[in-house]
């Protein structure tokens, strides 16, 4: 039988031993966790590097970190000679993080660089599967299929990209054109997309700007023959690009094609000046008034002191100056070898110059045939008519009319004051247009 005193000694010793063992276990766990934290921290620090050796060390320290495998694989894949070395790390990255579309995307490019088409297709197919609404993924997948010559797949992903980024189709048109020479497949594919007619008009515009005017004209005629609904603003932008490209005859024809639309409803029968009484805010494009901002010249297209209707154009020469100015102009479709009469009603207030504003007409393709202008307006005058006639050259399709003030060569040279213009009209000689008078 153990003496009571002995028991009293054994019990405290056993309790002390348990506490000691527990403390040692806690210490070992803390040391282990600290070591793990240090290992992961060092791996993360090395993983921020772009040095291959440091990334390799990071992967060795933290081999289950998908981001580290991806970073090392991406570094390898930048150099096509190391594409094969990149693939195992990029594959390990997608194994550890299988839903990351960008990991799959980089795997696809690495496999493409290594010449492994099956692996590349697997990478891109998984990328678009896990990021179906991410434009970058659709775009890069389309580029892969363009580079490998798979036209149908490329067009499919380009179409998906256009649905995701509908307001900037130019990169798609440029890429497809370089790869496949603007073939009809793209044109047909656009018809299957949401807002396809707008994209078709944008494609026509892109072709014109990039020097493919004949193809643009062909597709424009297709749109007309289909009676496709279109936004007039987009069509007028196309007209303006035709004018900018010097394709005046085509621009005039397209504008004529737009005549039934609401935007061209302000042209009076038989009169070639659209919006000649300024009752509509100018489109600043196409065959409407266009603005050229100039110092010391202010324009108001909604001035109320009109001769006809409720609006007219007011031009203020705000600071005395002797510069040539042409703050507003208007392209007009005409026929060749035809004599025209240009007329307008104008008035002025304190125009202090011997060289006042006037209407001028030139042929933009032949700066000397014709070049005519009305008399300038100076001083203070009430509403009165100004006129001039001219005959177009045989090949003339369009003339450019402007409000023009040439430099003065005698005192007083500088111009200041206010000028109003209304009821601008251009008609072939022999045809009359009755000018309504408002009583003002």
pLDDT tens digits, 133-142: 999 999 999 9
Look at residue 386 in the predicted model and tell me its pLDDT.
97
Residue 315, SS3 per DSSP:
strand
CA distance 200 to 436: 42
The answer to whether 207 and 242 are in contact (CB under 8 A) is no
Look at residue 23 in the predicted model and tell me its pLDDT.
57
Structural domains present in the chain: 290-428 (2.60.120.260)
Look at residue 304 in the predicted model and tell me its pLDDT.
86
CA distance 353 to 319: 12
Cis peptide before 412 (omega within 30 of 0): yes
How does pLDDT run across 322-339, given as a tens digit for each residue?
999 999 999 999 999 999
Token reading at 104: 């799959």
The residues facing 328 across adjacent strands are 291, 403
Angle at which helices 213-225 and 232-244 cross, to 10°: 150
Q: What stretch of H or E contains 391?
A: strand 379-391
Spatial CA neighbour of 284 closest among 274, 294, 296, 298: 274
Distance of CA 107 to the CA centre of its chain: 32
Q: Are strands 379-391 and 339-351 parallel, antiparallel or unpaired?
A: antiparallel
Count CA atoms closer than 13 A to 350's CA, side-chain side. Answer: 8
Look at residue 108 in the predicted model and tell me its pLDDT.
94
DSSP 263: G
Low-confidence ranges of the chain (pLDDT < 50): 7, 30-48, 262-266, 432-440
Token reading at 134: 């991410």
The answer to whether 103 and 66 are in contact (CB under 8 A) is yes
Angle CA(37)–CA(43)–CA(48) in degrees, nearest 5? 130
Token reading at 78: 């930048």
Residue 211, SS3 per DSSP:
coil
Look at residue 21 in the predicted model and tell me its pLDDT.
58
Secondary-structure percent of the chain, ordered helix, strand, coil, rounded to 5: 50, 20, 30
Look at residue 59 in the predicted model and tell me its pLDDT.
66
56 burial level (CB within 10 Å; 0-12, 13-18, 19+): middle
Token reading at 373: 């202008």
Cis peptide before 161 (omega within 30 of 0): no
| Tokens 């004051």 sit on residue | 417
CA end-to-end distance (rounded Å), the chain = 135
Look at residue 67 in the predicted model and tell me its pLDDT.
80
CA distance 421 to 345: 6
CA distance 95 to 58: 18
- Phi–psi pair at 381, nearest 5 degrees: -135, 155
User: 0.85 exceeded by the pTM?
Assistant: no
What is the spatial order of strands in the sheet that 312-321 belongs to? 297-303, 312-321, 415-428, 339-351, 379-391
């Amino acid at each position: 039988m153990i003496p009571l005193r002995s028991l009293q000694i054994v019990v405290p010793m056993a309790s002390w031993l348990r506490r000691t063992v527990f403390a040692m276990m806690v210490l070992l766990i803390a040391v282990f966790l600290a070591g793990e934290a240090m290992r992961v921290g060092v791996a993360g620090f090395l993983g921020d590097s772009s040095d291959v050796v440091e990334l390799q060390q990071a992967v060795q320290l933290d081999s289950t970190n998908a981001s580290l495998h991806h970073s090392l694989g991406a570094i390898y894949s930048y150099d096509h000679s190391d594409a094969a070395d990149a693939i195992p790390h990029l594959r390990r990255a997608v194994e550890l993080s299988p839903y990351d579309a960008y990991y799959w995307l980089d795997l696809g490019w690495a496999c493409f660089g290594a010449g492994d088409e099956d692996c590349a297709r697997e990478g891109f197919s998984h990328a678009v599967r896990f990021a179906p609404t991410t434009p970058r993924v659709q775009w890069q997948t389309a580029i892969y299929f363009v580079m490998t010559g798979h036209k149908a797949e490329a067009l499919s992903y380009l179409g998906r990209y256009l649905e995701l980024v509908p307001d900037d189709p130019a990169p798609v048109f440029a890429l497809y054109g370089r790869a496949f020479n603007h073939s009809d497949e793209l044109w047909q594919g656009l018809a299957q997309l949401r807002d396809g007619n707008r994209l078709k008009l944008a494609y026509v515009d892109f072709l014109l700007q990039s020097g493919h005017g004949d193809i643009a004209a062909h597709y424009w005629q297709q749109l007309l023959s289909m009676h496709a609904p279109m936004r007039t603003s987009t069509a007028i932008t196309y007209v303006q690009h035709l004018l900018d490209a010097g394709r005046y005859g085509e621009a005039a024809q397209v504008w004529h094609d737009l005549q039934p639309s609401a935007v061209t409803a302000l042209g009076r029968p038989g009169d070639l000046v659209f919006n000649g009484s300024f009752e509509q805010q100018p489109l600043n494009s196409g065959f409407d008034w266009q603005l050229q901002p100039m110092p010391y010249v202010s324009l108001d297209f909604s001035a109320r002191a009109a001769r006809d209707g409720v609006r007219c154009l007011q031009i203020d020469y705000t600071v005395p100056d002797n510069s040539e100015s042409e703050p507003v102009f208007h392209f007009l479709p005409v026929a060749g070898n035809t004599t025209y009469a240009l007329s307008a009603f104008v008035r002025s207030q304190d125009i202090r110059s011997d060289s006042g504003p006037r209407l001028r007409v030139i042929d933009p393709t032949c700066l000397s045939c014709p070049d005519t202008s009305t008399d300038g307006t100076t001083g203070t005058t009430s509403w009165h008519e100004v006129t001039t006639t001219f005959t177009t050259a045989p090949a003339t399709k369009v003339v450019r009319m402007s409000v023009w003030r040439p430099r003065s060569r005698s005192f007083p040279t500088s111009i200041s004051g206010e000028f109003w213009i209304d009821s601008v009209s251009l008609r072939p000689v022999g045809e009359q247009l009755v000018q309504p008078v408002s009583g003002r």
